[in-house]
Structures are given as structure tokens and as C-alpha cells.
Structure 1
Amino acid sequence: MPSNIDKFSDIRPYNDEEIQPAIKRVINSEEFIDAILSFRFSKLSKLLGFVLKPLIRRYFLYKWGNINSIDKMQKVMGHYVQQMIDSTTTKFTYSGLENLDPNQSYLYVSNHRDIAMDPSFVNWALYSENFKTVRIAIGDNLLSKPFVSDLMRMNKSFIVKRSVTGVREMMKSLLHLSDYICSSLKEDSSIWIAQKEGRAKDGFDKTDPAIIKMFYVNGKKQKIPFTEYIKSLNIVPVAVSYELDPCDQQKARELYEKAEFGEYKKSEFEDIESIVSGIIGKKGHVHVAFGQPLNCAFENADQVAEEIDAQIYQNYFLHPSNLIAAEQDVDNIPAQDIEAFKARIQAIKPELQDTVLKMYANPVGHYTS
């Protein structure tokens, strides 16, 4: 029988032995260097790209050349996350971890507002309280560039194969993923996964029961009753809320074009641009709320999804931006904060302003802080 490492080699995060080869591939990737040039040195890249490219490679070789384990990579990424929090947030808070056991593995099912930052903030909260950091589920639609796949899998991400076609192949892929999640939890490795495919672009968070059905595929194969198997996963709902969404205008443009023209076509590097925008953009106050492990006697996936939603709605932290956009309970919000948010909205393209306002306003009334 193959080992689990071999069994899941196509989707699992890299192990220690794979870190250095992956780093070398990333550093030698023209697309990676071009992406760094484009986002970091956009004005200089056309004139001085031939000079900057070898310097960028040398920089990353210096920074990453001695990383040869997951733990070392996590420490390096932890430094980057700390810098990101210091430079892009006014405050980072979390709640609910006092109800969880740091020695236990959990399947964290989270609302989804940002591709990279949601699991990063969840991880930072866990790390701050000496919990195990998570393995992160990421769709293969975001991994079209080999260097992106390498970077993600170096950082404890595993692949959800959404591009698979054909009923037989889809079921095989779902069983493989379900088996991997269960195996990880048994190996004392917690999991982070979004409550549905794609980010919530309109401000509403809703769990897709298909995610719960995927969890159970492995249990169904083993003829384990649904209630028993779901309890064994230690599912914990998580609500991540941002005072400011760095990608609000990008999301609004997508919603606007779908409403106006019936479709929206992504540009080649749009997913990467969203990741970068989410990392470097101003976020204001970010709060991560951990719920209670699901231990009720659920009969089906819809009931599980409803309980996840109920906890996310109950624990979601409403920021001044949400209240200002909804024009509710603004009496206790400082006037300068109100003016700053209104100025942010006014700076957005006029045709997108209503959509962005609704994005911030929609959680109010639906959730309680």
C-alpha cells in the first residue's frame, strides 16, 4: 500500500525535502520575476528590467536560499504576516479561541472575503495563542501559474481540483479530497477551507451544502453514519471581518459588469492582482471570530450548513464602515471616521459606488456584532 505522502502527492502541501527544489523553481521562473517587477517596480521595469531581474533573483536567493523545512518557511512567512498586519491594519483582534483546545485538530470552515488574507489572519490568531496553524484549501483555478502553485504549496496549502470534468473524474477527485481532509485531521493537522467556492463579493456569507457533502464522501464510502462522521471532523465556523476591503472596487466591477452585460471576463493576472491587492491594501480593523465545534446530531448537509451560517452571523464583527454604509447606529461613530469612509466611496468610479456601499451595508441587520 502506498504511504499517505505518495497517496496525496498531487494535492498535499510540500514536505521538507520538496521546499528547496520548489524555491529554486520559483526564483528561476520568468513569470515570478516579471510579476515582482510589475507590482513592485512598475515604473522602472520597462526601462531597467534587464538590470532589476538578476538583482531580484539574487535577493530571493539570499532570503530563501537556506530554507529547507516547512517550519523555517512558516517562520519566514510569519515575519511577512507581522509586517503586513503592522502596515495595513489599524487593529487586529480575535475571539472564541478560549472555547477551543490547542491540542485538538479542527476543520475551520470560514466565510471568504479575501483569497490570501482570510487564512493568514486565521493562522495568525491561532499562532498567537499557541494553536497549530492550518493547512489551507485553495482552488486550482488560482494555480494556473506554476510559480503560484509552488508558493502556495510551500506554505501549507493543498489543492482543491475545481477544473476536473466528467462525473467519474469529479467523484474520484471529491473522494480524494475528502480522504485527505480526514487523514490530515487524524494526523493532528488542522484545516482551513472556505464555506463556498469563490469570495463573497456582495457582503453576504452563505455556506454551500456541497462543501459539507464533500466532507462526507469519505465517510459514506466507509459506511460511517453522517452524524457520527461530521462530529469526528470537529468543524468550527469562523467569521473574518474587514473594516475596509482592499478589493472592494475589483469585486464591485465584477458584480456591475455581470449585472449590466451578463458576463465578466477576468484578465490573465487578475487573480494574482487580487492576492497582491489583498496583501498590501489598507484593511482598517480586522477581526477573526471562532465559533463552537459542531457536535449536534445533524441529519444532512443542509442542517450543517445552516448551523455554520448561524454561528458566522452571530459572531460576525460589524465595523463602523458597515454601519455608515447602512446608515444605522452612526451616532457613536466619530465624525472624522464617517468623513473618511465617505471620501473612500467618492474616490471610487461613480457607476460602482452603489455596489460598494451595498457590499459594506449588507451584513448589517443580517449579522449581529
Structure 2
Amino acid sequence: MMGEFDAIRPYDDSEVKAVLTRLLKDPAFLDTLTHFRFPRFAGALGWLLKPMIAKKLRREFAGIDSVAALQDKVEMYVDHTIERATDGVTYTGVEQFKSGSAYLFLANHRDIVMDPAFVNYAVYHAGLPTPRIAIGDNLLQRPFVSDLMRLNKSFIVHRSLSGRRERLAAYQLLSAYINHSIRTDCQSIWIAQAEGRAKDGDDRTDSAILKMFHMSRKDEPFAEVVRSLNLTPVSISYEYDPCDAAKARELYIRASTGEYKKAPGEDDLSIAQGITGYKGRVHINFSAPVTDLHEDTKQLAAEIDRKILAGYRLFPVHYLAYAQWEGADPALEVPTAGQLFGAEELTQAREEWQRRLNECPAEHRPYLVQQYATPVRNQYRIKAGLAP
């Protein structure tokens, strides 16, 4: 029997074995893994390495027949990747979650794969079931990527539909699935606060997403629907963004030509860079679920923004960037990095920030500064009691 959500839902336990078998025969998947694992030899020795990797993986994943078992197996690799590419991950707010409850995690969006991965990491290490993850179909160009993501509890958001009717139907289905997941399956959801990453560092909730949550329960008051979903704002803070230079380049091209066209495979590069690139320290803050009754999406978006921006952890680099930002607000009382951080921490941050500025073409630099400075302005506006 076809289920109502089959086109978008993650794979369930009964499908795991067949999908793993399919993946381990997929040349494109094995090719990507070979390049990722042995970048220096993948070209010349790929023909030799691919069957070896496939054999090793078949052995490694033999007997895996549930999503939970797969996540336990993969967690080791995730932890290893996180340890290699960060100076440590901290999180606050996980102690408020009750087992047996499901939450709608609405997070700021800076990195395609690592944002949900870090939320997963925090929730997993707090001993709670990991959330289902919303992922745009624009990132699932290749079948193996779709298989991989749906094995890892991802569900698909159809963004590339052009007709208004099709888009509406897709949002209706998405709304029904999110509500069903939280209220019937008791499975948490992770979704970004807006489509696309906040490349300028300005984290804002798109009220259309909030409207979508309500679409499948139109006959109920908006405020009640939101309350029933345990909507939990999440702030993800990276000390350094591995994709910052690429984002600065895109913003510069967009500002000087009026548009930016992605090159083929650009998302794949961003994903790889985001996973393996150096991030410094990473902090994830879970705010308390929204319980105030908001009658409309604009009010609710402002409340979520306040919580996400206030929960963002500012590192020395953010203050260093703010001090040299043309967009700094003179009316805000923002301390300098020197007033807040110790000498050793500050020296390290100055060196790393200077290195990033030096590597960035001069005309892109204002956009690099803006990415790191904007969260400072946003947070100090909230501290001053101003609108987010």
C-alpha cells in the first residue's frame, strides 16, 4: 500500500538493507567515497580502490537492518569528522528535553550538512532520539545522495517545482508530514528558519515557513497549532565558517552584477568544504519551546529571531570583524574583543582572522567582514531592547 508520505519521508527499518545493498553497488557513490577517502590516488588508482572500499563497507555494514543501528554505526565516523575539523563542540539547553516528547527544531542556517549534523550530535549525545531532517531537493541531484540522506532520517522538501499549484500541494504535504511526525509518530523534526544559508550572517526566520506549519490544520487557530508542535528555536554558532570566502565571493558578484549563477557541482563542493573545513569552536543553543500565543506569522518570526540571535555564541573573531565593519551601528554599546577575551585567545583569533582577510581578494573583503560582524549587531540590538 502506498503511504501518503512515501514521496518525501525518510526510509524506514524495513527498507534499510535493500537501500544499503543498492548504495554499495552504485559507481557514483563509490567514486565519491574513493575521492573523499584517498584524494591523492583516486584518479590513477580508482579502479583498484573502489572494489576494496565496497568490500570493506559491505563487511562493515553487514547485519545492519534498522535506522538506529545505522546511526550508531555512523556516529563513530561523525564524531571523528567533528573532532578533526573543530576545536570542540559545546551545547546548552538539551537538559530541558523530555524523553517521550517530540520537538520542532527551527534553526539558523549556515552550513548545508553540518547544521543538522551538529544538532543531531547534541541530541544523540544527550541520549535522545535524533530528529528527522528537512533537506531541499535541489541538493539531491544524484540518486545516491538522496538514498544516503533518506537513510539518515532526512525527508525531502520540494523546492524546485515551478508551478504555483504544484508548490502549494508540496507545502501542504510537507505541513501534514511535519505535524504527523511530531504528533503521531512522536519524532522530532529539524528544519532551517529560511530557505538557503544566511550568507551575510544575518539570521532571519521566513514567515512563509511558519505559515506552512499551519497549512494542513487550517481549521485550528494558528497559535494553538504552533504550541502543539513544541517549536524550539536553535542557534548554531561556528567560530569560523569553512565556506566564508566562497560566500563573500558570491555576495560580491551578486552586488556588482545583480545576480549569481551557481556552477555545476558547486553545492557538492560547499558540502565537502563544510564537512572537512576548519570551524574552530562550535556552539549549539536550544531555546525553550515557544509557548506564548502569537496570532500571526510576523509576530512569531520576530519572537523566534529574538531567541535565535540572543542564543548565538559570539567568539573573538566576531568582535574583531565588528570593529572594522562599515555597517557597525554607532548607537549600540558594543565592547571590544580586548575587553571580553584573554590575551592568548585574542592573539590566536587575530592571527586566524588576519590570515582569512589576507587570503580574500580585496574587493570581496567587506562581505567577509559583514558575515562575522552581523551577529554582533543583531545580538546587541536585542540586548538594548530593540527590534531584532
TM over 0.5: yes
Q: What is the aligned length?
A: 364
1:341 paired residue among 337, 349, 353: 353
- CA–CA distance in 2 between the matches of 1:352 and 1:19? 45
Q: 1:56 aligns with which of 53, 57, 60?
A: 53
Instruction: Say which SS state the counterpart of residue 365 (structure 1) adopts.
Output: helix
**Superposition pairs for residues 207-222 of structure 1, below 5 Å?**
207-220=205-218
In the TM superposition, residue 367 of structure 1 has moved relative to its aligned partner by 1.3
Is residue 166 of structure 2 the alignment partner of residue 169 of structure 1?
A: yes
More off after superposition, 324-333 vs 121-130:
324-333
Taking only aligned residues, the RMSD between alpha carbons, in angstroms, comes to 1.7
User: Post-superposition shift, 1:348?
Assistant: 2.8
3-state DSSP class of the match of 1:108? strand
For residue 213 of structure 1, report the CA deviation from its aligned partner: 0.7
Alignment pair present for 1:316 and 2:328:
no
Residue 205 of structure 1: aligned partner: 203
* CA shift for structure 1 position 85: 2.1
Which of residues 69, 75, 82 in structure 1 aligns to 2:66?
69
Query: Does structure 2 retain, via aligned residues, the 8 Å contact 1:100–1:292?
Result: no
Q: TM-score, normalised by structure 2?
A: 0.89
Q: Structure 1 residue 292: deviation in Å?
A: 1.4
- Is the 8 Å Cα contact of residues 45 and 52 (structure 1) preserved in structure 2? yes
2:217 is the alignment partner of 1:238? no
Unaligned ranges ≥5, structure 2: 324-334, 384-388
1:67 CA drift (Å): 1.9
1:361 alignment partner in structure 2: 373
For residue 110 of structure 1, report the CA deviation from its aligned partner: 0.4
Runs (4+) of structure 1 exceeding 6 A deviation are none
Q: Confirm or deny that 1:291 pairs with 2:262.
A: no
1:302 matched to 2:298? The reply is yes
Between stretches 86-95 and 153-162, larger displacement belongs to 86-95
Report the 3-state secondary structure (helix = DSSP H, G, I; strand = E; otherwise coil) of the residue aligned with 2:241: coil
Cα deviation for residue 88 of structure 1 reads 1.2
Question: Counterparts of 1:36 and 1:131 in 2: how far apart (Å)?
Answer: 29
1:111 aligns to what? 108
Partner-residue secondary structure (3-state), 1:366: helix
Unaligned runs of 5+ in 1: none
Distance in 2 (CA, whole Å) between partners of 1:113 and 1:242 is 9
Q: Secondary structure at the match of 2:156?
A: strand
Q: CA deviation at 1:275?
A: 1.4
Q: Deviations over 1:283-322 (max 9, x none)?
A: 1110001111111121111111111101011111101111
For 2:92, the equivalent position in structure 1 comes to 95
CA shift, 1:77, in A, is: 2.1
Deviation string 1:236-280 (CA, Å, 9 cap, x unpaired) is: 100000001111112122212212222222222221221111111
Superposed CA deviations along residues 2-21 of structure 1, whole A, max 9, x for unmatched, are 6xx71111101001121122
1:225 maps to 2:221? yes
Task: Please name the residue that 2:7 is paired with.
Answer: 10
Amino acid in structure 2 at the alignment position of 1:132: P
Tell me the distance in 2 between the aligned counterparts of 1:261 and 1:27. Answer: 43
Cα offset, 1:24, TM superposition:
2.2
Distance 1:306 1:356 in 2: 26
Tell me, yes or no, if the aligned pair for 1:106 and 1:190 is still in contact at 8 Å: yes
Mean Cα deviation higher: 21-30 or 10-19 = 21-30
**1:76 CA drift (Å):** 1.7
**Aligned-partner residue type, residue 182 of structure 1:** N
Q: State how far apart, in whole Å, the 2-side matches of 1:77 and 1:152 are.
A: 12
Whether 1:146 and 2:143 are equivalent positions in the alignment is yes
The superposition leaves residues 178-216 of structure 1 with CA deviations (integer Å, 9 ceiling, x where unpaired) of 010011002110000000000110100000000001100
